[in-house]
A and B are shown apart, each in its own frame.
Chain A
């Protein structure tokens, strides 16, 4: 078999050749001829390599002596190291049961990790109260500064808008009964019990939880965490505790701030659009907010702060050792953080209902 090749933009068809090679008995030999070849590039070499591969599998000798010297040298280079047969990456489709099993094992390991880390954090907290933890106050203050005052702007913006939205939503139903004055109650209760804490937690999850995961993940990749360990310094005490404590302290304060701003948003809507005077609005708001509801929101803020910091740090500490893993850790931190916030909020709602808070 022979043929003239040139490196035109389109490859010649392989079918005739593969069919000839597949026939029984196989052809006695393949002669590669390239008299018409003027220029060639890697595509040409790749095509020849593929033919050689096919022939080798069928044990058909190939004569490539007519090919240009450069092509033959490249081919020799490509075949100098035999294909590593045991390094094929495992992957591709596995049977359903295998995937189910692997998924279950992974989920089990994940939850083990979750609780192991929780245990480590609690032990570290215990050591902190005994005054034995490797914990630096300046680190704590720095994280507080970054997560608290640093977040005021975005927390204010979002909660102001949430206040507006609550007021408009309340107005559409309440005005049907001529009870627009109760917009103040809707905004106040909605904000103080739920939205203030949730919105702030979600913002901090995206802003701070992600940052924690990225910071700790990068430290893991750079072996900074390993370096801490070699000095006998516990990464949980040294890195995780300040972050968790900072968020548990700042979140309740941010929630109070968020409540105020959101009520301000409601006030703006009702006084400008719904003709409720600001004094009346404020009066109703003060009557609507019970101390219990307010404290509930603030308390939830503290819990959410813990959840955000915990998931962020957990994903960061668990991060693999390459740059892609840091991105993955960050994503997983945000997803886990927001999920846990909503789940815990649901639990709180059920509990509060049962306890009549």
Chain B
């Protein structure tokens, strides 16, 4: 194993019951980088993310974190490992019966020894980091979709995770918010040194943030390419080229 690998996906086959979503996925995620999982809708990106955060057990193959296979760890180790992840779900997935501050505070209360006052301080800071200062006492239903996502990000960052997972962070956002979120992601990588795994199919985002990527193809039910998307633009795989250039297989992206 390469010591420079934070997550290694080895021969992963993903299935829901008998229904195989993807097979034979191989990838490595380097520390302090942004890794993008791309592919069309319904091809299994979210499913792969759920495998990476340990919510679904692989049908075949392994996922290794710093060289240790996630599912062969004992329960306590696995829980500790989970605590070093931060996850932002597609819609934000804020707990709707709690205010934004309570949402961010809950994990802090569960897993740190901070006093109640300190927890509030930290939670306020996290919300300020994502630009939600002043919205601490709002309920998720009282703020917009983009704000929910940012609050979800603040909650994902609550425990200072080493790895952040994002499921389609820019889906449903206007271009400016989406751009701001991309900047935030890069900022997290650079200032916190976090490793970031992003599921997305927004080309602008992909080119703006990705250090490395894999491309999933629903037709062959497997991964079609791996590498930096800018290099993949010149890949000899027409499917990847077509995807990255909005259906223009000659390889020049419409937006760049």
Contacts and interface: CB of A to CB of B under 8 A. Distances in A.
Nearest to B82: A232
Contacts of B55: 226, 229-230
A232 B96 CA distance: 18
Interface stretch (B1-9, B60-68, B87-95): B87-95
B110 A134 contact: yes
Contacts of B10: none
B96 A219 contact: yes
Contact of B93 (A134, A222, A232, A233): A222
A222 B167 CA distance: 13
Given A232-B79, A232-B83, A226 B110 contact: no
A218 B55 CA distance: 19
A262 to B, nearest CB: 34
A230 B156 CA distance: 9
A195 B106 CA distance: 42
Contacts, number: 48
A231 interface: yes
B85 interface: yes
A227 interface: yes
A224 B92 CA distance: 9
A53 interface: no
A88 to B, nearest CB: 16
Given A222-B96, A232-B83, A227 B110 contact: no
Interface in B87-117: 87, 89-91, 93-96, 106-107, 110-111
A230 B96 contact: no
Interface string A174-201: 0000000000000000000000000000
Nearest to B78: A232
B96 A227 contact: no
A227 B110 CA distance: 14
Contacts of B203: none
B110 A230 contact: no
Give chain A's interface secondary structure class.
helix
Nearest to B109: A136
A231 B90 contact: no
A223 B90 contact: yes
A224 B87 contact: no
A227 B82 contact: no
A223 B152 CA distance: 11
B171 interface: no
Interface in A307-340: none
A230 B53 contact: yes
A233 B110 CA distance: 8
Nearest to B46: A223
A50 B91 CA distance: 42
Given A219-B96, A224-B95, A231 B110 contact: yes
B93 A227 contact: yes
Contacts of B111: 231-232
A105 to B, nearest CB: 12
A230 B110 CA distance: 13
Contacts of A232: 79, 82-83, 110-111
A191 to B, nearest CB: 36
A5 B206 CA distance: 51
B107 A223 contact: no
A227 B153 CA distance: 12
A99 to B, nearest CB: 19
B110 A223 contact: no
A218 B91 CA distance: 13
B93 A226 contact: yes
A153 to B, nearest CB: 23
B87 A230 contact: yes
A231 B107 CA distance: 7
Interface in A225-246: 226-233
Contacts of A222: 91, 93, 96
B65 to A, nearest CB: 15
A224 B96 contact: yes
Contacts of A226: 50, 55, 89, 93
A223 B89 contact: yes
Contacts of B110: 134, 231-233
A218 B97 CA distance: 11
B91 A227 contact: no
Contacts of A224: 93-96
A227 B87 contact: yes
B90 A230 contact: no
A227 B107 CA distance: 11
A231 B106 contact: yes
A327 to B, nearest CB: 18
A201 B148 CA distance: 38
Interface string B163-207: 000000000000000000000000000000000000000000000
A223 B93 contact: yes
20 contacts: A134-B110, A223-B89, A223-B91, A223-B93, A224-B95, A224-B96, A226-B50, A226-B55, A226-B89, A227-B87, A227-B152, A228-B95, A229-B55, A230-B87, A231-B82, A231-B106, A231-B110, A231-B159, A232-B79, A233-B110
Interface of A: 134, 218-219, 222-224, 226-233
Given A224-B96, A226-B93, 18 more contacts: A223-B89, A223-B90, A224-B93, A224-B94, A224-B95, A227-B87, A227-B89, A227-B93, A227-B95, A228-B95, A230-B82, A230-B85, A230-B87, A231-B83, A231-B159, A232-B79, A232-B82, A232-B110
